[in-house]
Amino acid sequence: MRAIWKGTTIAESDDAIKLEGFYYFPRSSVKMEYLKESSHRTFCPWKGTASFYDVDINGDINKDSAWYYPTPSERGAMVKDRIAFWKGIVVLP
């Protein structure tokens, strides 16, 4: 699987897992140089608190378009050390 935005591959892995319609990539497969920490947070009752990243490709910012669970709940343990994408970031097989 590959996550692409603006023609740039942000993540690539054969170990992405699909959960609730989104693919979660192992953190080690994500090109972190394109991600900038965001102050945005959300809460999922069964995974816990999500933290977000802005995706930055050559100064073009896609705000809060990647997220992860720094300390997922026990029920959400499968997303530990994984990052998911949305807001126009395309995931291809």
Q: What CATH number is given to the structural domain containing 23?
A: 2.170.150.40
Per-residue model confidence (pLDDT) at position 47: 97
Strands 22-26 and 8-12: what pairing?
A: unpaired
pLDDT at 16: 98
Indicate the number of domains in the chain: 1
Q: Give residue-wise pLDDT tens across range 16-50.
A: 999 999 999 999 999 999 999 999 999 999 999 99
In this predicted structure, what is the pLDDT of residue 31?
98
H-run or E-run covering 65:
strand 60-68
Which residue range(s) make up the domain with 15? Answer: 2-92
The pLDDT, as a whole number, for residue 83 is: 98
Average pLDDT value for the chain: 97
Please, which contacts does 52-60 make with residues 24 or more away whose CB atoms are closer than 8 Å?
53/83, 55/5, 55/10, 55/85, 55/89, 57/5, 57/6, 57/8, 58/6, 60/6
pLDDT at position 67: 98
Amino acid residing at 60: D
